[in-house]
Amino acid sequence: MSQSCEDRKYAPVGVFDSGVGGLTVAREIMRQLPMERMVYFGDTARVPYGSKSRETIIRYSRQIIHFLQGKGVKAIVVACNTASAFALEELRPELDIPIIGVVKPGAKVAAETTKNGRIGVIGTEGTVGSQIYTKTIREHKPDAEVIGKACPLFVPLVEEGWLKDPITVEVAQRYLASFQASGIDTLIMGCTHYPLLRSTLRGILGEDVNLVNPAYETAQGLKALLSEYCLENDGGKRELSQYQFYVSDAAEKFKNFANSILPCEIEEAQLIHIEE
Ligand code: DGL
């Protein structure tokens, strides 16, 4: 049975990531758009995406988007920076619902707020190598100097829960050393996990560097997108479940991580076979 336009606004938003990292985006959506329902998929069986090829990321993202569409979502948020870099523009023409990634919102605010035009970007090898942040920042600020640095060790350190551990501080100091000499005034935390390292990064870079969290900006962008398409949930149909979580592996571990960072308790993450 097809949904009426009026009912469409009560449909959930689909959010996906390579695993737990996208929960930083889910968290911002919960905080900033508390009326919205959400179906989250974390590809915990195939994480990390950051070291995989563009073709593989497109294939994975296509499968996940089909899964989310099967759940009747009204819009899709690509919460993963690597998938936003490689798959978003490729898959957009295949969709009849709005889709938003994390790169554009983060790049735009960095370009608009930098004072000296020197912007650092940290992310996975895939995201930094794609140069997507550089290209997108320059659409807003053509003379910006953008310095990228892949920080692959941050993801396992965050997943281990070592957010402020001396080892993490040491690793961060090494990664960030080049930025300290280059005089950036803005740093984009261009990977889902990095906002969880904010205070460690702040401790190394000091108060003068503005840390941009694309998760925060993406939630703002989603709000604007839903409003543009008249899809904002007005809080009706409260009987429908608000949040559903699906993963491709290690559901219990995912649930525990989710409950350590989300503003609400999740009861379960359901395991699904995304390849089927
Ligand atoms: N979610 C990924 C990203 O934001 C980080 C983890 C991974 O490499 O899959 O790019």
DSSP assignment, residue 20? S
| 103-113 and 132-140 helices, crossing angle to 10° | 50
Residue of 82, 133, 213 to test ligand 1 pocket, by largest number of atoms within 8 Å of CB: 82
For residue 195 and ligand 1, the question of a CB distance below 6 A is answered with no
Residues β-bridged to residue 150:
123
The ligand 1 atom at the shortest distance from the C-alpha of residue 22 is 1
| Alpha-carbon span 98 to 81, nearest angstrom | 18
Average pLDDT, the chain: 95
Tokens of 251: 């559901």
Tokens of 148: 């990228």
| Alpha-carbon span 57 to 79, nearest angstrom | 13
The pLDDT value recorded for residue 181 is: 84
Residues β-bridged to residue 107:
none
Catalytic site positions: 80, 191
| Alpha-carbon span 136 to 146, nearest angstrom | 10
Helix/strand/coil for 232: coil
- Give the residue ranges of DSSP H helices in 37-165: 54-70, 81-86, 88-91, 103-113, 125-130, 132-140, 154-159
Category of 77 on φ-ψ map: left (φ > 0), alpha (ψ -120 to 50) or beta: beta
The pLDDT value recorded for residue 123 is: 98
Helix/strand/coil for 205: helix
pLDDT band for position 5 (50/70/90)?
Answer: low
The pLDDT value recorded for residue 12 is: 96
Residue of 193, 218, 248 to test ligand 1 pocket, by largest number of atoms within 8 Å of CB: 193
For residue 80 and ligand 1, the question of a CB distance below 6 A is answered with yes
26-54 mean pLDDT? 97
256 membership: H or E segment, kind and range: helix 251-261
Contact 77, 222 (CB under 8 A): yes
The ligand 1 atom at the shortest distance from the C-alpha of residue 82 is 10
Contact 22, 40 (CB under 8 A): yes
pLDDT band for position 241 (50/70/90)?
Answer: confident
For residue 84 and ligand 1, the question of a CB distance below 6 A is answered with no
For residue 186 and ligand 1, the question of a CB distance below 6 A is answered with no
For residue 191 and ligand 1, the question of a CB distance below 6 A is answered with yes
pLDDT at 77 over 90: yes
Residue of 15, 16, 17 to test ligand 1 pocket, by largest number of atoms within 8 Å of CB: 17
The pLDDT value recorded for residue 2 is: 47
pLDDT band for position 3 (50/70/90)?
Answer: low
Kindly report, residue by residue over 91-150, the tens digit of the pLDDT.
999 999 999 999 999 999 999 999 999 999 999 999 999 999 999 999 999 999 999 999
The ligand 1 atom at the shortest distance from the C-alpha of residue 17 is 1
Measured in angstroms, how far is the CA atom of residue 50 from the centroid of ligand 1? 5
| Alpha-carbon span 190 to 186, nearest angstrom | 12
The pLDDT value recorded for residue 239 is: 72
The ligand 1 atom at the shortest distance from the C-alpha of residue 49 is 9
| Alpha-carbon span 22 to 101, nearest angstrom | 11
Contact 260, 159 (CB under 8 A): no
- Please name the residues in contact with 156: beta carbons below 8 A apart, sequence gap of 6 or more: none
- Please name the residues in contact with 51: beta carbons below 8 A apart, sequence gap of 6 or more: 124, 125, 126, 152
Tokens of 63: 């499968």
CB-hemisphere CA count at 13 Å for 261? Answer: 23
